[in-house]
Structure 1
Amino acid sequence: MQAVELVDLNTLIQDCGSGWMLLFHPDFLYGHMLGTTIKSYGYFSYEFNEALHLSGKEEQTVAEIFTKIDTQKKAGNALLVQFEKIVNQYFDSQAAIDRGLPSMDDIASQLNISPRYMSDMLRTLTGQSAQQRIQEVIIEKAKEKLSTTTLSVAEITYELGLERPQSFNNYLKIKPTGPRLNFGRVLIKHISVSLS
C-alpha cells in the first residue's frame, strides 16, 4: 500500500500494475478530524517508489474494506435499477395522470430507504439527484410520445403528470412553429422549469 499525491492518474495506473487503489480528493476530509491529523502520518511523505508495508492483519483489513466497497457498489447499482423500474412503471401506468409527478417519499418507501439516502445514493452513482433522474425519465417519455404518437403536446404534458397543460399549450403558441419533434425542445425546457 502506498500513499501518493495524484498528479497523473494514467501514469500512476501504469506504474502500479495490478492491485487496488483507493483515491480520494482532499476536500473529502474537510470537517473531519482526520483532515487535520492526516499530515502527521509519515508515510504521506514517502517517495513514489517507497512502499508502505502492511502486516498480515492490516492487509486483511484493507481487503475487507475493498470487499465492502464492492458490495456497496453492487447494492447501489441494484438500487439504481429498482429506482428506474419504479419510476418507469409509474409513468407507464395511469399514476402520473391521477397523482401528478411521483413523490420522493413514495419512491423511497417502495425501495425501503429514506428519501435523503435515495437521493444521495443516486447522486453518487449517476451524478444526479433523484429529482434529476425523474426529470430524465420524463424527458425520455416525452421524446418517445412525441415521436411515436399523435398526441398533442398538451396531452403529453398531462399524461406525464405535469401541472397546467393548458398554460403550457399557450406557451407553445407563442413559439415559432416547426416540425413536431422540434416541440420536444420546448417541452424539455418546460419540464426543466416545472421540476425546479
Structure 2
Amino acid sequence: MEHKTTYIETVHSCNRLFNEKTLHPLVSVIDLANAHERKRLRLDCYSVMLCEQTSGDLASSRMKCDFADGTMLFRAPDKMVPIETSTHSNLSGRLLVFHPDLFCGTKLGKKIHEYTFFKYKLTEALHLSQPERVRILAIFDGIKAELEWGVDCFSQSIICNKLELLLTYCSRYYIRQMVLRRDSIDKTVEKVTENIDAYIMQGRLATDGKPCTCKFAAPLGLSSAYLNDVLQHETGLPFEALVESRRLRMARQQLTSGVKTDADIAAWLGYANTALMYSLTSFNESTRRFSYK
C-alpha cells in the first residue's frame, strides 16, 4: 500500500505529528516509539533518524558485512523521510530534526555541505555497531537535555556544537562501513574506472564533454554523492578528478605510441589544442619525452 507523503514546514508541526512538546522552534529530538503508523514525511529541515528495527529500503541496504545494531538515515531539506512500522511492533529509535536557520552564521553553517551523506539515497544508510549506537544515543540525549534546559544566548552555540559532534562521528562510522565493505567497494571502483575509460576511448570527451557523476552513478543504483565519496576514499580523487587523471594517463600512452598525430590525440581526448595537452601531460614536443618536475 502506497502511503501519502506529508509535507512538514516547521519543527513545531513535526513535533505535533509525534505528540512531542516543542522545546525549541528550530530543533527537536523525537522519540519514534510514538510513531504508531507508517508515514512518509517531506520536511523543510535537516533530519537524522536512528532506527533500531528496519524494513523496506533501510533493511535491504544492509550487507552481510555490516553491523546490525542500528541504522541511521540522513536527509536534507525537502527529501522524503520514511517512518516505517510493522504490524507486530512500533518503531524504536529517534528522529532529530533541525532547521537551517539554527546554524546560520555558525561554524556548522559553513561546513554543513561537507556532510555529503545528507544527499545519499535511502539504500545508502549507515549501519551501526552496538558501541556506535550507544555513542549516537548519548549525543541525542545531550541535545535533548540542552533543549529541556531552555532557550538563552548560549543555546545556539551549544546545540550546534553537539550537532557537529554527531555528524563528525557519523562521518567516521561511514568510513568504517566502507572499510568493512572493501570487496564491494573495490568492485564499484573497478567498474566505474572501466566505464570512464570506455567513455574516453569512444571520444565522448570531445563530442559530449566531461560527464557528470550521475551518468556513472545511476546505472550502479548509487547516488552521485555516495559514489563520489567512495571514489575519494578509495582513490584519493573525487569523480571529476578521476576522469581527468584517466584522460591524462590515456594522453601519455597515445603520445608515446606514435599511432596518431598529436593533433588527433588532442581532438580525440577533448583538449582545446595540443599546447594545452602538452602542458597538462608535461610532454616536451621537441624531445618527445615527459619532463616531470
TM-score (norm 2): 0.35
Does the CA-based 8 Å contact 1:120-1:129 persist in structure 2? yes
Match in the other structure for 1:31:
164
Among candidates 127, 140, 147, match of residue 236 of structure 2:
127
Aligned equivalents of 2:220 and 2:167: distance in 1? 33
Letter in 2 for 1:116: A
C-alpha change, 1:71 and 1:166, in structure 2 (3 Å) is: closer
Quote how far apart the aligned CAs of 1:167 are. 7.0
Among candidates 145, 148, 154, match of residue 263 of structure 2:
154
Deviations 1:144-168 (A, max 9, x none): 1001124343322211123x22774
2:225 aligned with 1:97, yes or no?
Answer: no
2:245 aligned with 1:112, yes or no?
Answer: no
Unaligned runs of 5+ in 1: 1-28, 37-65, 186-196
C-alpha change, 1:143 and 1:169, in structure 2 (3 Å) is: closer
Match in the other structure for 2:44:
none
Deviations 1:47-70 (A, max 9, x none): xxxxxxxxxxxxxxxxxxx9x666
Quote how far apart the aligned CAs of 1:102 are. 2.5
Partner-residue secondary structure (3-state), 1:100: coil
2:87 aligned with 1:87, yes or no?
Answer: no
Among candidates 237, 249, 253, match of residue 144 of structure 1:
253
TM-score (norm 1): 0.51
Does the CA-based 8 Å contact 1:154-1:169 persist in structure 2? no
Deviations 1:144-196 (A, max 9, x none): 1001124343322211123x227748989xx98521234x86xxxxxxxxxxx
Return the structure number with greater strand share. 2
Among candidates 175, 181, 187, match of residue 289 of structure 2:
181
Deviations 1:85-138 (A, max 9, x none): 100111122323321222222122232212211111111112111112112111
Return the structure number with greater helix share. 1
Identity %: 16
C-alpha change, 1:159 and 1:126, in structure 2 (3 Å) is: same
Letter in 1 for 2:233: T
Does the CA-based 8 Å contact 2:206-2:269 persist in structure 1? yes
Does the CA-based 8 Å contact 2:278-2:285 persist in structure 1? no
Does the CA-based 8 Å contact 1:155-1:165 persist in structure 2? no
Quote how far apart the aligned CAs of 1:143 are. 0.7
Unaligned runs of 5+ in 2: 1-161, 170-175
Partner-residue secondary structure (3-state), 1:178: coil
Cα RMSD (Å): 3.7
C-alpha change, 1:112 and 1:81, in structure 2 (3 Å) is: same
Count of residue correspondences:
124
